[in-house]
Structure 1
Amino acid sequence: MRIPILKLGNYLLISIQMELDDKTAIQFQEDLLQRIHETGATGVVVDLTSVDIIDSFIAKVLGEVVSMSDLMGAKVVLTGIQPAVAITLIDLGIHLQNVQTALDLEQGLMKLHQELGE
């Protein structure tokens, strides 16, 4: 199953509405990087509001998505991180350094506007 990636101006919006398995996470990574390349997007918002559980592999993939997107010129903001997900990330020793976060999609878009000076 593929995660929809929507374009809004210079941004890509992703709302993950399912629990991620390894295959879906890798497909998402490939799809997002391809969409950044195709559209020239300067910003990406990944909404994790519906994600209740995360494992170390999925956390690693999310971190890589942020780094790879940055290399391609697109800043990423993660939104809607649930308390259990935050706890799990810290318990696993996974620190998504230099990753912008926001409580919800609206705040994530505002953060991108500020970050990109738009």
Structure 2
Amino acid sequence: MQDQTALALQEDLSDRIVATGCHGVIIDITALDIVDSFVGRMLSSIAAISRVLDAETVVVGMRPAVAITLVELGLSLDGIRTALNVELGMELLARSRADEPEDLGIDGLSATT
């Protein structure tokens, strides 16, 4: 993945989160054979932006060599959950949303009260 592609992904993704109001982002990195510190930081940045926009990030399809490289680079993917494939990532997001407490309005009452 080239740096410009990664930056475009980050910008496009944040625009889509705002436009759709989604609460989950799945990033499939199956095609990545290797990563560098830039891609690792970009994934962390996407997760941080997504959290601010009320969306959880799940990375799927991480190869063992990619995971080892991230550890060797000292990059922790804070705020990013992982799953083996897209289907398991979708299940993870669904369970996560089901476990969240109901959103409270400004006055501290639930939206349904």
TM bucket normalised to smaller: 0.7 to 0.9
Identity of aligned residues (%): 41
Q: Which runs of 5+ in 2 are unaligned?
A: 100-113
Q: How far has the Cα of 1:98 moved from its partner? A: 3.1
Across the two proteins, how many residue pairs are aligned to each other?
99
Which letter does structure 1 place at the counterpart of 2:10? Q
Q: CA RMSD in A?
A: 1.0
Higher strand share: 1
Over 2 Å off, 4+ runs: none
Q: How far has the Cα of 1:97 moved from its partner? A: 2.1
Flag the structure with larger Rg.
2
Alignment partner, residue 13 of structure 1: none
Q: How far has the Cα of 1:109 moved from its partner? A: 0.2
Q: Which runs of 5+ in 1 are unaligned?
A: 1-19
Alignment partner, residue 6 of structure 2: 25
**1:3-82 maps to which residues of 2 (within 5 A)?**
20-82=1-63
Give the Cα–Cα distance (whole angstroms) in 1 for the partners of residues 65 and 3 of structure 2: 19
